[in-house]
Amino acid sequence: MGTLESGATLESVAAAAGVSRQTVSNVLNAPERVAPQTRQRVQEAIESLRYRPNRSARSLRTRTSRLLGYCVQPAPEGAINPVLDRFVHALTESAADHGFHVLLFTAPPGAAGLDRYAELLAQRAVDGFVLSDTVVADPRPVWLTEQGVPFVAFGRSWSGPDHGRWVDVDGAAGIVEAVEHVHALGHRRVAFIGWPEGSGVGDDRLAGYLAACSRLGLTPLVERDEGGVEQGRAIAGALLDDPEPPTALVCVSDLSAYGALRAVAERGLRPGADVAVVGFDDTPAARLPGVELTSVSQPIEEVGRDAVHMLLGALGVVEPPPGPADHRLLRPTLVVRASTAISPEG
């Protein structure tokens, strides 16, 4: 039989300490109301009985579950970006610092998935939500705001006004840094391989590219594709086959960049020596020997921590950190590898 089948309760601890239930409760939730001597005695009883408050009972009474809901999406086909691992771990760890846990659930994308959120709310299963994989015109922030449900999103709402709290990574700033980096290496014909217009994240990164070109006096050269490796390979190939090809390819994602690297290699050119290639996301494959892709790295752990703090702040659990309470924009960092190692000739 297990040593924690005990099932100690407020009652049994009180009996062991020779006080009433309420005094034990006070020791846990309002220690200053209990005389030090009594407190000591109660704490010893708690220790010896290995007492822990029953979460369900506490939840029922306080009407808070100390659970944060997070919807896990299935990893998209061909995904190379294991964000979930890091983000979820950061969420879980930060939540634990304040006695909270993360509750996972699944939901279909779009408005159809709102039912799942409503269900958890109606059951009082969670105190709030952490959203990720937000898209343009995502119905969730609007709906949750209407319902008065505390939440925080990883990702801005790209269309219309902001709803609720969010944490995001400044993609434009990341691309600016990338362009400045290749510019500093001497590259003057710098192309951008982007996503189709209207993706929010993609438009933001493109904006960074255009801003950097403007500031540095470079002529923008933008190509767009659907973002896959093969598409990146084709687009990059077309660019390189131009009579006056770009010497640097800044890509909206690592996936495009892997395609670009391939296109470079297929033309007998050496990435980093003949053509610079930069990606975005710093996916695990970027560091593999033979790849060594320079890439913009997102501070995922920091996003997770900030998200939890903002949400717990909204729940009144922690003092909200200084700064704007409803959003936070974090700077990514450029990780330089061999794909942008050497200055071009000329």
Partner DNA sequence: ATATATTGTGCGACTAGGAGT
Partner DNA sequence: CACTCCTAGTCGCACAATATA
Contacts with DNA by CB under 7 A lie at 7, 9-11, 14, 18-23, 25-26, 28-29, 33-35, 37-39, 51-54, 57-58, 60-63
Choose the stretch contacting its own copies; rule: CB under 8 A; options: 25-33, 172-180, 209-217, 225-233.
225-233
How many Cα atoms within 13 Å fall on the side-chain side of residue 129? 28
Per DSSP, the chain holds a count of helices (H) and strands (E) of 12, 12
What is the per-residue binding string for its own copies in 23-62, x denoting contact by CB under 8 A?
Answer: ---------------------------xxxxxxxx-xx--
3 binds its own copies per the rule CB under 8 A: yes
- The item of DNA, its own copies, none sharing an interface with residue 205, based on CB under 5 to 8 Å by kind, is none
Q: Is 115 in the site for its own copies (CB under 8 A)?
A: no
Interface with its own copies includes 15 (CB under 8 A)? Answer: no
The two three-digit tokens of residue 91, written as one number: 């969420």
Amino acid at 41: R
For DNA, the closer CB: 32 or 197: 32
Of 168, 193, 106, nearest to 299 (Cα)? 168
- Taking CB under 8 A as the binding criterion, the range among 86-94, 166-174, 205-213, 332-340 that sits at the site for its own copies is 86-94
**Which option in DNA, its own copies, none does residue 19 bind, with CB closer than 5 to 8 A by kind?**
DNA
122 Cβ contact partners less than 8 Å away, ≥ 6 residues apart: none
In this structure, the dihedral spanned by the alpha carbons of residues 330, 217, 213 and 178, taken in order and rounded to 10 degrees, is: -60
Identify what 242 binds: its own copies, DNA, none; CB under 5 to 8 Å per kind.
none
Query: Between residue 272 and residue 291, which ones bind its own copies under the rule CB under 8 A?
Result: 283-285, 287-291
Residue number with CB closer to its own copies (57 or 342) = 57
To the nearest whole angstrom, how small is the minimum distance from the Cβ of residue 216 to its own copies? 31
The Cα-based distances of 52 to 47, 48, 56, 174 in angstroms read 9, 11, 12, 46
Asked whether position 82 contacts its own copies by CB under 8 A, the answer is yes
Which among 223, 210, 133 has a CA at the least distance from the CA of 172? Answer: 210
Site for its own copies, residues 121 to 180, rule: CB under 8 A: 121-125, 146-149
Closest C-alpha among 321, 292, 286 to residue 307:
321
Q: Mapping DSSP to helix (H, G, I), strand (E, B) and coil, where does residue 101 land?
A: strand
| CA 12/CA 115 separation, integer angstroms | 41
Q: Which residues are within 8 A (CB) of 254 and not within 5 positions of it... i.e. 6 or more apart?
A: 80, 81, 279, 280, 281, 282, 283, 285, 286, 293, 295
The binding site for its own copies (CB under 8 A) comprises 1-6, 50-57, 59-60, 65, 67, 72-75, 78-80, 82, 84-86, 88-89, 91-93, 96, 101-106, 118-119, 121-125, 146-149, 229-230, 233, 258-259, 261-262, 265, 283-285, 287-291
